Amino acid sequence: MKRYLSNLIEEIIRRAETSSHILLFLDYDGTLVPICKEPSLAKLSLNDKRLLEKLSRIPWFSTGIISGRSLEEIRSLVGVKGLFYAGNHGFEIAFREIVWVHPALNSFKVELQEITRKLKYHTRGIDGILVEDKKETVSVHYRKVTGRTPGEIMKTISMVLEPYAKRFTVTRGKKVYEVRPNIDWDKGKAVVKLSQLLDLKTKPLKIYIGDDQTDEDAFKVLGEDDISIRVGYKKGSKAQYFCKGSSEVLRFLKKLVMLNNSKK
């Protein structure tokens, strides 16, 4: 992955212009908004919301947000009707008037509540730690932690999870560990599921933009003719292009809106 988005943006726009339908997937934290020390501070500006509203009204676009946050939270944060939303890395999907939840999750609920309580208890003495209950998963944020290494925090998580080792797994993001049910599901499978739900008559051009390791699962399922963009350069990424930050992502989205105007 060596191609810088800003240097090749016109090439990508030309590819989009020839498509009969575009299926646009957008991560939230680190993609549409910069990463914040407090997750609650990562909010879209009014202008950025208006930009997403414009995208939602383009008839040959299907646009959605696919996030690690809970479905309830990401829908509230973005608050744009006409988009589809996937929360908890695709375990929950809101599509039109339908809310789909992975059917295997129900059998993990009681244990996940126990794990959440134990994580809060065993990390209560760590200044800056945040244990976030997302109903279907639980995140341990350590961006504000000082005096403890990520390895020490992971050691505490592993201790809590020991009785549940076969049932739950831990993934690592940007200054966060996430405990999730050990189900064969990720953002890539959510992309496939959403593509099926849309049931488009013609094959769409898929565009996926994300910044984290969890987005790599989505990059992997895209076809050679699709477009994948990683926010922040990472050696070995499966994305075709990279950009430097959320401001460049929003600039690209504005180009897509302008493309719609030229098609009228």
Could you tell me the pLDDT band of residue 64, with boundaries at 50, 70 and 90?
Answer: very high
Could you tell me the pLDDT band of residue 200, with boundaries at 50, 70 and 90?
Answer: confident
How far is 156 from 120, CA to CA, in rounded Å? 11
pLDDT of residue 262: 61
Residue-wise pLDDT for 82-121, tens only, equals: 999 999 999 999 988 889 999 999 999 999 999 999 999 9
Q: Give the residue numbers annotated as catalytic, written as ranges.
A: 27
Question: Based on the structure, what is the number of domains in the chain?
Answer: 2
Check whether residue 17 and residue 60 sit in a common domain: yes
pLDDT of residue 263: 61
Strand order in the sheet with 176-181: 130-133, 138-141, 176-181, 168-173
Check whether residue 218 and residue 232 sit in a common domain: yes
Structure tokens at 87: 């929360």
- Write down the pTM of the prediction: 0.92
Q: Which domain holds residue 191?
A: 3-102+185-263
The CATH number linked to 12 is 3.40.50.1000
Check whether residue 168 and residue 44 sit in a common domain: no
